[in-house]
């Protein structure tokens, strides 16, 4: 019997994610940011070729299980995808092909009851990106390398586990499971480190890679709907930044604002006990709006964090009530 599964990462550039002088092409409309990928992913190659994202790592694998329930064979069936970069020059749109790096597939780790597959895919855009870097020759013209390293473990009983082993700190990476549904996201993007450090030997195709994959759970469909309202409906939201260790809210203090996490990770603490970690797309603070204006939890930044601020009266009270019903983490069994 053959069992197949897959895990896919889609790498894309969120709005306002690029910093410093190299963001000028984005600001003047020569380059472009990407719209968020969908919750359900279709054909990966078609999606990348249409310039909907920059890179994709499609780890697909299979195992053969004999009549005794033992694994007899296994193999890869996926691919890496690097898309074009669309640029507008003199009223024309040019599609500049990206540069794909060799697909790295580790030898399958075969055990009697499971197989673990590990695959790295990535590359760089074909558009030059002159910038200073941290090591000789201290200046680079070609764009930095972007990648993800994914793992998929298939068990003989059909159970499957996915893991993001390693990833470049830029751009944003979204993770899709075997049913092509969004299941996780990279929690923090760091454009400056990516631009200055991820070159040459300091990538999976060189001698070392020191990137840490920080992945958070996907926000709810309601949070996605409300986040679009915060960012695109009416007035432009105030943006705030927090350093590592700074508090977004403190339990017991008054508060009437809502926060949409745009980038970074916060830990939720109640009575000084950590209960959960939240990443991009999460909306927090609604319980204070609904429950007397007092913060019910402390939210502490574990990475640099960027949030959009909204007033409670900007959102439908019924939607906030529904959102709050899923945020009573102190009432949930540990």
Asked whether residue 36 falls in the same domain as residue 150, the answer is yes
First CA to last CA across the chain, in angstroms? 39
Residues 305 and 164 in one domain: no
Q: Do 208 and 62 fall within a single domain?
A: yes
Residue 214: predicted pLDDT: 81
pLDDT of res. 102:
95
pLDDT digits (tens, 9 = 90+) for 315-324: 888 999 999 8
- Report residue 195 as tokens: 């631009």
| Residues of the chain with confidence (pLDDT) below 50 | none
Q: What is the CATH number of the domain that holds 231?
A: 2.60.120.10
As a whole number of angstroms, the distance between CA 60 and CA 8 comes to 8
Same domain, 134 and 18: yes
Q: Are residues 46 and 113 in the same domain?
A: yes
- pLDDT in the model for residue 258: 94
Q: Within this chain, do residues 116 and 249 fall inside the same structural domain, yes or no?
A: no
Mark which of 217, 240, 257 sits at the end of a domain: 217
- Going 186 to 191 to 192 to 194, the CA torsion angle's sign is positive
Domain boundary residue, one of 176, 195, 217: 217
Position 334 scores a pLDDT of 53
Domain carrying residue 161: 2-217
**pLDDT value, residue 272:** 93
Using alpha carbons, list the distances in angstroms from residue 51 to 30, 54, 79, 86, 87.
15, 7, 17, 7, 11
Q: How many domains does the chain have?
A: 2
* pLDDT value of position 241: 95
CA 296 to chain centre: 28
Residue 230 and residue 210 share a domain: no
And the tokens for 229? Answer: 């309202």
Task: State the sign of the Cα–Cα–Cα–Cα dihedral 94, 96, 97, 98.
Answer: negative
Strand pairing report for 114-124 and 104-105? antiparallel
121-159 b/e (C-beta count within 10 Å ≥ 16 → b): bbbbbebeeebebeeeeeebeebbbbbbbbbbbbbbeee
Residue 210: per-residue pLDDT:
56
H helix runs in 172-315, sequence order: 191-197, 221-232, 286-290
Q: Is the peptide bond before 171 cis (omega within 30 degrees of 0)?
A: yes
pLDDT value of residue 208: 57
Are the beta carbons of 282 and 219 closer than 8 angstroms?
Answer: yes
> Is residue 225 classed as helix, strand or coil in its secondary structure?
helix
Q: Can you give the pLDDT at residue 255?
A: 93
Classify strands 114-124 and 131-132 as parallel, antiparallel or unpaired.
unpaired
Tell me what pLDDT residue 29 has. 67
Global pTM reads 0.85
Check whether residue 227 and residue 213 sit in a common domain: no
The verdict on 75 and 135 lying in the same domain is yes
Last residue of a domain, one of 196, 217, 238: 217
One domain for residues 140 and 162: yes
pLDDT score recorded for residue 6: 98
Asked if residue 113 and residue 62 are part of one domain, the reply reads: yes
Residues 69 and 167 in one domain: yes
């Amino acid at each position: 019997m053959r069992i197949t599964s897959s895990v896919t990462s889609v790498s894309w550039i969120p709005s306002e994610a690029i910093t410093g002088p190299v963001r000028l092409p984005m600001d003047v409309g020569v380059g472009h940011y990407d719209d968020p990928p969908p919750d359900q992913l279709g054909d990966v190659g078609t999606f990348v070729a249409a310039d909907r994202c920059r890179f994709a790592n499609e780890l697909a694998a299979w195992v053969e299980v004999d009549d005794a329930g033992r694994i007899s064979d296994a193999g890869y069936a996926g691919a890496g995808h690097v898309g074009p970069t669309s640029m507008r020059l003199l009223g024309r749109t040019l599609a500049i092909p990206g540069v794909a790096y060799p697909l790295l597939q580790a030898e399958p780790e075969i055990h009697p009851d499971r197989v673990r597959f590990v695959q790295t895919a990535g590359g760089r855009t074909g558009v030059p990106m002159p910038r200073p870097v941290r090591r000789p020759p201290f200046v680079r013209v070609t764009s930095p390398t972007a990648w993800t390293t994914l793992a998929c473990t298939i068990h003989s009983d059909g159970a499957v586990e996915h893991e993001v082993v390693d990833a470049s700190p830029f751009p944003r990476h979204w993770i899709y499971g075997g049913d092509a549904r969004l299941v996780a996201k990279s929690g923090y993007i760091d454009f400056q480190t990516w631009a200055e450090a991820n070159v040459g030997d300091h990538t999976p195709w060189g001698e070392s890679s020191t990137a840490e994959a920080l992945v958070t759970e996907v926000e709810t469909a309601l949070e996605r709907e409300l986040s679009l309202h915060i960012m695109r409906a009416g007035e432009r939201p105030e943006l705030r930044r927090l350093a590592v260790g700074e508090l977004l809210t403190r339990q017991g203090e008054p508060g009437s604002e809502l926060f949409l996490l745009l980038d970074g990770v916060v830990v939720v603490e109640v009575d000084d006990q950590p209960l959960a970690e939240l990443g991009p797309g999460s909306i927090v603070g609604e319980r204070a709006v609904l429950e007397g204006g007092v913060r019910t939890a402390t939210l502490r930044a574990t990475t640099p964090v960027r949030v959009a601020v909204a007033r409670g009266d900007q959102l439908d009270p019924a939607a906030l009530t529904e959102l709050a019903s899923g945020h009573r983490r102190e009432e949930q069994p540990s």
